Chains A and B, each alone.
Chain A
Amino acid sequence: MAVVTRDAAPRVHWLVRRLLASLAVLFVVSLVVFAATQALPSDPAEAILGRDATPERVAALRDQLNLDRSLPSQYVSWLGGILQGDLGESLTRRAPFADALVSRFSNSFVLFAVASLIAVPLSLVFGVLGATRRDSWGDRVGVTVSLLLSAVPEFVIGVLLTLLLATTVFHIFTPVALVPEGESILKHPEAMALPVLTLVLAVVPYLNRLVRAAMTDTLGADYVQMARLKGISESQIARRHALPNTLIPVVQASALVMAYLFSGVLVVEFLFRYPGLGTMLADAVANRDLPVIQAVTLVYAASIVLLNLSADVLTIWLSPRLRTGDVR
C-alpha cells in the first residue's frame, strides 16, 4: 500500500475516499435521527400535542409531519426537504425555522471561533513552556491547575465565573446574554464575554496538556539531541525543530477534544442564554419540537464530521512525509 510517488494522485484518491466515508457516516446519522422519532411510545402527533390533542389538530399535525405515509417515504421527503434547505415548520412557533437555525449556527460558530482563536495560541505557549521547563515549580502548578480545570464540567466553571465577575464579587459583565432573536451576536460583543472566557478556561487545560505531552516526546527524539549536540540553543530547538513536529499529533487530538467539548459548549450556551444552537436544542427538547430537534442534531453531527475531516486534511498538509503520497 505504501507507494511513495511524487504526483498528487494518491492524495486526491485519499481525499475522495475520506469524503465518501464522511458522507456515509452522515447518511447513517440521518437514519438514526429519523429513527429516533419512531421511538415515540405513542402516536407522535398525540404525544407532541399532549393535552391539546383534539382530533382535528392531531389530523393536521399528522398531515404536516407526513405521518400517514410509509416510513421510507417519510424519510425520503424529510431528508429531501433538508437537502433543499426546506426544514419544515417549528411546531411551537408554527413557522419555518431555517433562518433561525442559520442565525443560531453562526452565533455558535462565532463563539467557538473566538474561543479557539484565544485558546489555541495560549495552549501552544503554555504547553511549550511546560515541556521546556519540565518539573519546574511553574510547570507543576500549571499541570495541577490544568488537571483540575479539565476535570470539572464546563458549566461549573461558567457558574463560578458568573459569581466572580457578574453577580457577587465583581460586577464587570452581564450574567445573561440579552440578544433579540435573529440578531447577530457580533452586534452584542458584551454578551460574549463570559461564554468565551468559560470556554477558554475549559479548552486551554486540555490543549495545553496535549501540547506539553507531544512536545516532551519530541524534545527527547534523536534528531533533537543531535541539534543540541551541534550547539543550537534550547529556544531555537523548541521553536524551529520540535514545535512543527509536535503540531501533527496535537491537530488530531484536538479534533477529538473539540468534538467532545461540543457537549460542554451546549450547556455553557444554555447557562448564559447565549443565542446559539445549544440553547435552540435545549428549548426544542423542552417543547418537544421534533423538526427543530432533528435539524439541530444533524447540524451538530455534520459539524463534528467536518471537524474530523479538516483535522485529517490538516495532518496531511503538515507532515511532509505524508504529503508525498504515503498516506495508506
Chain B
Amino acid sequence: MTDHQSVSAPRRRARGERFPTLRRAWRYGHTKAGLVLLVLVVLMAVVGPAIAPHSPTEFVGRPFAPPGQGALLGTDSLGHDVWTRVLYGGRTVLWTSIAATVIGMVLGTTLGLYAGFVRGAVDGLISRSLDVVLAFPQLVLVLLFVSMLGSHLWLIVLLSGVAIAPGVARVSRGMTMDLATRDFVRSAELLGLGRTRLLFGEVLPGLTSPLLVEATMRLMWSIGLIAGVSFLGFGVQAPAADWGLMINENRNGFSLQPWAVLAPVTMLGLLASGSGLVAEGLSRALALVSSAEMNP
C-alpha cells in the first residue's frame, strides 16, 4: 500500500516510452476492475437523473414500502422512490470528492515541492504548520468550521482539501528532496532557471506517477470523508437526494425496508472500492517501474 512512498520517482523517458507506469498498471486486474466500477458509478450518477422513473421528491407510496408496485427498490422514510433517489444521489458526492482531491493535491504538492526544495527555516515552518493540521482528525476539522459557518458544500470541499493536503505534502516533500540532488535538476539550476520554473518544469514531471497514485488514494479517502459528513447530516440537506444522507434518513427503517439503506451504501462502497482498486494497480506498477529504473 505504501510501497511507493519509499521509492524514488521515475524520470521522464524518451518519447514513445512515456507513461510506463500507466501502461504497466493497465496489465493488472485491479486497475481494470477498479476502472469498470468507477465508470459504472459515474455513468449512473451522470445519466441517472435522465432515466429516473420519478422525481426525487415525489411521493410514490407509504413510507418504507417494500419493493414492488411501481417502486423498484421500495420507498424511503417519506415515501419517495428509493431507486430514483439512488439515481440522483451520486452527483454531489462525486463532484465534491473530486474537487476536494484536486484542491488537496494542488495545495499539498505545491507546499511539498517548495518545502523539500528550499529546506531550512521555510521547510520547518511549513512542516510544523502541517503537523497542526494533522493533529485534527479530518472529519473533526471539517465539523469544527461547518458548525460555525454552516453546511455549505464549497466549505466542505475546501476544508476536505485542506485536510488532505498535509499527507500529500509529506510525500511530495520527501521525493523533492531526493530529486533535488539529481544532476538534471542541478544543471537546470546552474543554467539559471527561476525557482518556479525549476520546481514545476523540472522537478514536478518526475513526480507525476507517484502523485497519480497519491491522488487516487486521496480520492478514495475523500469519498469516505464527504459521504461521512453527509451521513452525519451536515452535508447535503434534505430534501435533496444524496447517498450519504439517504443512509441517515432511512436507518430507522432498517428492519422494515433494508433496501432504502442497502442501495446507497452499496453505491458508496462500489465508488470507494473502484478508486481503491485503481490506486492499488497504479502503486504496484509504480513500484515495479521504479525498481526497474533504479536497477536497469
**A binding-site residues for B, Cβ under 8 Å:** 21, 24-26, 28-29, 32-33, 36-37, 39-41, 147-148, 150-156, 159-160, 162-163, 166-168, 175, 206, 209-210, 213, 253, 259-260, 262-264, 266-267, 270-271, 281-282, 284-286, 288, 293, 296-297, 300-301, 304-305
A168 contact from B149, B223, B254, Cβ within 8 A: B254
* Assembly CA distance A151 to B2 (angstroms): 14
* Assembly CA distance A167 to B251 (angstroms): 11
Does A153 lie within 8 Å of B139, measured CB to CB? no
* Assembly CA distance A130 to B61 (angstroms): 51
Does A213 lie within 8 Å of B137, measured CB to CB? no
Residue of B nearest to A289 (CB): B147
A-binding segment of B46-54, B104-112, B128-136 = B128-136
> Is residue B70 contacting chain A, with contact meaning CB distance below 8 A?
no
Does B135 lie within 8 Å of A213, measured CB to CB? no
> Is residue B201 contacting chain A, with contact meaning CB distance below 8 A?
no
Q: How far is the CB of A73 from chain B (nearest CB, A)?
A: 21
Within B233-251, which residues are at the interface with A (CB < 8 Å)? 233-234, 247, 251
Does A159 lie within 8 Å of B137, measured CB to CB? no
* B residues in contact with A159, CB < 8 Å: 247, 251, 261-262, 265
B224 contact from A24, A154, A175, A270, Cβ within 8 A: A154
**B binding-site residues for A, Cβ under 8 Å:** 1-3, 30, 128, 131-132, 134-140, 143-150, 220-221, 223-225, 227-228, 231-234, 247, 251, 254-255, 258, 261-262, 265, 268-269, 272-273, 275-277, 280
Does A213 lie within 8 Å of B1, measured CB to CB? yes
* Assembly CA distance A267 to B254 (angstroms): 18
* Assembly CA distance A82 to B167 (angstroms): 30
Q: How far is the CB of B61 from chain A (nearest CB, A)?
A: 20
Does A175 lie within 8 Å of B254, measured CB to CB? yes
Does B144 lie within 8 Å of A36, measured CB to CB? yes
* Assembly CA distance A26 to B149 (angstroms): 23
Does A41 lie within 8 Å of B149, measured CB to CB? yes
Does B148 lie within 8 Å of A267, measured CB to CB? no
Classify the interface of chain A: helix, strand, loop or mixed: helix
Does A286 lie within 8 Å of B135, measured CB to CB? no
**Known contacts A263-B138, A301-B136, A152 near B254 by CB under 8 Å:** no
Does A281 lie within 8 Å of B227, measured CB to CB? no
* 20 other A-B residue contacts (CB within 8 Å) besides A159-B247, A304-B135: A147-B277, A152-B272, A153-B223, A153-B268, A153-B269, A154-B224, A163-B262, A210-B1, A213-B2, A262-B137, A262-B139, A263-B224, A266-B137, A266-B140, A267-B232, A281-B143, A285-B143, A288-B147, A300-B136, A304-B134
**Known contacts A32-B132, A163-B261, A300-B140, A263 near B228 by CB under 8 Å:** yes
Q: List 20 A-B contacts (CB under 8 A).
A: A25-B131, A25-B135, A39-B149, A147-B276, A148-B273, A151-B220, A151-B275, A152-B224, A154-B224, A155-B228, A160-B269, A163-B258, A260-B137, A262-B140, A263-B225, A264-B228, A267-B232, A282-B233, A304-B136, A304-B137
Does B276 lie within 8 Å of A263, measured CB to CB? no
**Known contacts A40-B148, A155-B231, A267-B232, A259 near B137 by CB under 8 Å:** yes
